[in-house]
Amino acid sequence: MAKKIGYRWHLRRLMAERDMYATAQLRPLLAERGVVLSREQVYRLVTGVPERLSLATLAALCDILGCGPGDLVEPVVVTPAGRKPDAPQQAPPPPSRPVRARVARPAGR
């Protein structure tokens, strides 16, 4: 089985280490470096894990935070939850069917 590579995004931690706790602080700093993002885009960049990121944005973040790309992005090997990396694959359990509920009629009807 081929190994799957993921990554961890450390922007929020790096910002906190530099006493930047609000996403609003980052937006004008990015704009000074030619990266114009909406308030929502900056919020998602800080609070989430980006799937795509332009090199211009990455370079601007590195300049703002005084770090390198490797400080922002940490590659990690992804293993499925609950499985050891070398464990053999097991067949998924068969799908279960919902049990139909029986409605009891009130006495006297």
**Contact between residue 78 and residue 5 where contact means Cβ atoms under 8 Å apart:** yes
Give the pLDDT band of residue 52 (cuts 50, 70, 90): very high
Read off the pTM. Answer: 0.69
pLDDT-above-70 percentage for the chain: 83
Whether the pLDDT of residue 83 is over 60: the answer is no
CB-based burial, 30-69: b 16+ in 10 Å, e otherwise: beeeebebeeebbbebbeeebeeeeeebbebbbebbebee
> Is the model more confident about 42 or about 3?
42
Whether the pLDDT of residue 87 is over 90: the answer is no
CA pair distance 70, 62, nearest whole angstrom: 10
Looking at residue 77, its amino acid is V
- When the pLDDT of each residue in the chain is averaged and rounded to a whole number, the result is 87
